[in-house]
Amino acid sequence: MNITVLGAGAWGTALAISLAAKNQVLLWGRNQIAMESAQIERENQHYLPGFRLPDSLKATADFHAALRHALDSNDGEGLLIIASSVSGLRPILKQCAAYPLRNVVWLCKGFEENTRLLPHQVVRQELGEQVLAGALSGPSFAQEVAQGLPCALTIASHSPELCRLVVTAAHNPSLRVYSSDDVIGVEVGGAVKNILAIATGVADGLGLGLNARAALMTRGLAEISRLCTALGGRLETLMGLTGVGDLILTCTGNLSRNRKVGLALAEGKSLETIIQELGHVAEGVRCAQAVKALAFELNIDMPITEAVAGVLFENVASRDMIERLLSRNAKIESN
């Protein structure tokens, strides 16, 4: 199958490497010099150094060629995967709108900052209803996927046809792919867990212990659940890979960018410094403000999200954030 991955960051590159095991994959990136280097040196030296690009994986900065590759599949079932950040999703979709696309998948997790829309809503606005579209999500660190270590993901789409296509294309001995029709549940779980990873990073950075981490994750899952059901998602989805699974990995794994943001905040570093040092997008940063505003609009109680947004954008000290959460009045746990 012909597959184009738009976005040559760490995750886009790692997934492209995995998909190239049994597909003809073209990886597109904006930086022509970087893509020419990746094609010649067989390595994405900037975003995923140390991992060889398979021979069946090609790299290019030619956007038209990248789109044509997905459209010209011999079996008629080409696949376009957008591996941008949430903020970069709409600009890429606007470029894609001129092409007769059929099968489109995105990897980003979050809410669009200004509109507070989920990715599937942005896709529908820009590409309409004619394309088969879905979110590929789940607990996954790019380095481990590129290394070929075991990983499980979920493709969420209202199209059974697209789900079957993605499972066929991506499923291999080290990557297991499940399917779901709960696009909202999958996207909300993937978005809000990044905010919670910042919170657990702060708590761990302050040395508050494993009990505090477990409490933040558990109460954070309650926040995800409230938002998920309010938006029309299903609670059972949050018990799976894109809910509890992704939450556990992102809050506890040291490869997590969002967890690293929290750890650095606990050290007293400014957000600007943290982002510069990180060198990658941490989706939880942009997502925090959008989710806080959405929770207010929907009258949903999300105190951890609100506290994280306070630290990121309102100069609230990390330790004050934790104290505010701990000083809240006791309540029934199921609420």
Count of residues in the chain: 335
Closest of 69, 65, 61 to residue 19, by C-alpha: 69
Please state, in angstroms and rounded to a whole number, the distance separating the CA atoms of residues 253 and 247: 10
Helices (H) and strands (E) in the chain, counts: 15, 10
Question: Of these residues, 58, 109, 193, 292, which one is catalytic?
Answer: 193
CB 302 within 8 A of CB 227: yes
Please state, in angstroms and rounded to a whole number, the distance separating the CA atoms of residues 241 and 260: 22
- C-alpha pair distances (Å), 141 with each of 80, 180, 274: 21, 21, 20
CB 73 within 8 A of CB 2: yes
The yes-or-no answer on residue 22 being catalytic is: no
Please state, in angstroms and rounded to a whole number, the distance separating the CA atoms of residues 15 and 9: 10
Closest of 237, 312, 241, 323 to residue 282, by C-alpha: 312
- C-alpha pair distances (Å), 125 with each of 120, 131, 198: 9, 12, 30
Positions marked catalytic:
193
